[in-house]
């Protein structure tokens, strides 16, 4: 198949104007699956490999050639910020297509939402919570809005699979199918998967379809890893370091911490950087120390934090600053910047300590591999060493050993953590029961059982358990 010539004219123009020399392997593979059959599709590849375009280019071509009588494409994201980011990218792509795109979440324009209800068409970008609200409170509108829904694109599949929120999403999609009588094809996008077959099964839930997961040869890629170590030395031998009351005296104190922050300050000067940590508290501590050093040295305050406890407005402002080529922002972050939000090209990424998982390492490494760069990550850690005369082997650096293990698993074994299945989510069973009742009105226990326990996520729950719940 000549994939490029199969694409809609407005997409071909976009590719030319964007200076693409060729379509990537994953984009060609996605087009072949979408144009060549009726399967669901799972696209799993590294960060910045073109997955989003791989999903949208063939889907938008089909929507352009055969316009839907309702909303034709539903894009589902775990984050409003990711929706806002993708909205801007889609708007550019769709300029000459006459295909509208509408954001639908708590911060989106109510005027645009009402317009979509009256004249459903094009693409809707939505979170699971907003989809639940639609199904619960606007059941009649959903019938009209999604009566000819063709595709559902689920971004960051691995995130949804990790917790009960993903089970909630699958329930909502099945409820929508039963309401409208249509079964859209599903396309899942994920950067990190330890078990592709598990994700295929998850994506297929309730669809009676098979799921294609094309493998593309991305070739061997270079990565660069660096490590810097700092030491807090505590001598606890009961020799010259004990005072008259036999209390232990630390000979090194917190000098390692001070040197660490000074080092971070110096290497991030005039460089757009993400400093990843494993907790919100550590993120706040690191950025507070960098701000303090900058204040003493009369340097500009370019230090930001980005995590789940920071308000959405502050996070979005930070993302906008990072996208700017002129701003050399240093951002402390947790998992919130692991996801696919476009923040432009980074000068570097830093990981304090070892990441908690191989999957997290892969995501964070990929943050610095965009736009033709070689992915690179600098590890820094502060080691507390306690010297004890009884310790014949000397101190063991467990943090360093964990870094080695994670890197070896990723680079040599190509291994990532399998995602544990969510079984018997009784809290969600209660939640979906109440949501369905609010949407449908009064139902008999038998009718309610038929509606809820036939959802793919609840088929393993016995009737007797559901009766007890009711």
Q: Do 450 and 372 have their domain in common?
A: no
- Please check whether residue 419 lies inside any domain of the structure: no
Annotate 178-208 with b (16+ C-beta within 10 A) or e (fewer).
ebbeebbbbbbbbbbbbeeeebbebbbbbbe
- Please check whether residue 364 lies inside any domain of the structure: yes
Tens-digit pLDDT profile for residues 71-127: 999 999 998 878 888 888 899 899 989 999 999 988 778 899 999 999 999 999 999
Instruction: Answer with the one of 174, 190, 212 that is the final residue of a domain.
Output: 212
Q: Do 104 and 237 have their domain in common?
A: no
> Closest by alpha carbon to 360, among 417, 285, 283, 307?
417
Separation of alpha carbons 153 and 265, rounded Å: 41
Q: Do 141 and 264 have their domain in common?
A: no
Strands (DSSP E) along 182-223, which ranges? 185-190, 211-212
Q: How many domains does the chain have?
A: 3
Domain with 361, as residue range(s), is 224-411
CATH number for the domain including 26?
Answer: 3.40.50.300
Rounded mean pLDDT of 313-323? Answer: 87
DSSP string, 144-176: HHTTT--EEEES-HHHHHTSHHHHHHHHHHHHH
Residues found in the chain: 470
Q: Do 43 and 77 have their domain in common?
A: yes
With a CB cutoff of 8 Å and minimum separation 6, the contacts of 259 are 230
Q: Do 71 and 186 have their domain in common?
A: yes
Tens-digit pLDDT profile for residues 354-413: 999 998 998 898 887 666 678 889 999 988 777 665 655 566 788 899 999 999 999 998
Estimate to the nearest angstrom the gap between the alpha carbon of 64 and the chain centroid.
29
**Start-to-end CA span in the chain (Å):** 54
- Please check whether residue 417 lies inside any domain of the structure: no
Q: Do 18 and 153 have their domain in common?
A: yes
Q: Do 452 and 397 have their domain in common?
A: no
Q: Do 200 and 286 have their domain in common?
A: no
pLDDT the model gives residue 391? 59
- Please check whether residue 217 lies inside any domain of the structure: no
Q: Label the pairing between strands 330-333 and 303-306.
A: parallel
CA 279 vs CA 8, 13, 109, 276, 351: distances in Å: 45, 44, 33, 9, 12
């Amino acid at each position: 198949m000549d994939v490029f010539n199969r694409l809609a004219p407005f997409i071909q123009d976009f590719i030319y104007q964007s200076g693409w020399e060729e379509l990537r392997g994953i984009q060609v593979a996605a087009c072949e699956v979408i144009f060549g059959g009726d399967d669901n599709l799972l696209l799993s590849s590294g960060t910045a490999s073109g997955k989003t375009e791989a999903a949208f280019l063939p889907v938008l071509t089909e929507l352009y050639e055969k316009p839907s009588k309702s909303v034709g494409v539903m894009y589902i994201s775990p984050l409003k910020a990711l929706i806002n980011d993708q909205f801007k990218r889609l708007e550019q792509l769709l300029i000459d297509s006459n295909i509208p795109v509408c954001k639908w979440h708590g911060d989106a324009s109510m005027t645009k939402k009402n317009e979509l209800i009256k004249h459903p068409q094009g693409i809707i970008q939505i979170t699971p919570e907003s989809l639940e609200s639609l199904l619960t409170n606007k059941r009649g509108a959903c019938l009209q809005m999604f009566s000819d829904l063709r595709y559902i694109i689920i971004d960051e599949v691995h995130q949804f699979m990790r917790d009960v929120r993903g089970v909630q999403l699958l329930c909502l999609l099945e409820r929508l199918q039963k309401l409208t009588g249509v079964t859209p094809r599903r396309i899942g996008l994920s950067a990190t998967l330890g078990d592709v077959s598990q994700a295929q099964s998850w994506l297929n839930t309730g669809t009676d379809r098979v799921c294609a997961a094309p493998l593309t040869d991305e070739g061997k890629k270079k990565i660069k890893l660096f490590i810097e170590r700092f030491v807090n030395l505590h001598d606890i031998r009961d020799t010259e370091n004990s005072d008259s009351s036999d209390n232990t005296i630390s000979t090194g104190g917190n000098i390692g911490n001070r040197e660490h922050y000074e080092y971070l300050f110096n290497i991030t000067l005039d460089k757009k950087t993400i400093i990843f940590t494993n907790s919100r508290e550590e993120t706040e501590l690191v950025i507070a120390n960098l701000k303090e050093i900058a204040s003493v040295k009369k340097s500009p305050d370019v230090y930001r934090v980005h995590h789940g406890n920071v308000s959405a407005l502050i996070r979005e402002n930070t993302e906008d600053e990072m996208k700017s080529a002129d701003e050399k922002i240093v951002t402390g972050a947790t998992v919130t910047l692991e996801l696919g939000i476009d923040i432009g090209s980074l000068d570097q990424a830093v990981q304090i300590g070892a990441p908690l998982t191989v999957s997290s390492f892969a995501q964070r490494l990929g943050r610095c591999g965009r736009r033709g760069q070689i992915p690179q990550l600098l590890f820094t850690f502060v080691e507390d060493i306690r010297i004890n005369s009884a310790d014949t082997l000397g101190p063991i650096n467990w943090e360093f050993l964990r870094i080695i293990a994670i890197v070896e698993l990723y680079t040599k074994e190509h291994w990532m953590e399998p995602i544990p299945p969510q079984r018997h989510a009784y809290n969600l069973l209660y939640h979906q029961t109440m949501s369905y009742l609010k949407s449908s009105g009064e139902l008999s226990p038998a009718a309610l059982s038929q509606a809820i326990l036939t959802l793919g996520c609840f088929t393993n729950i016995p009737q007797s358990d559901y009766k007890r719940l009711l």
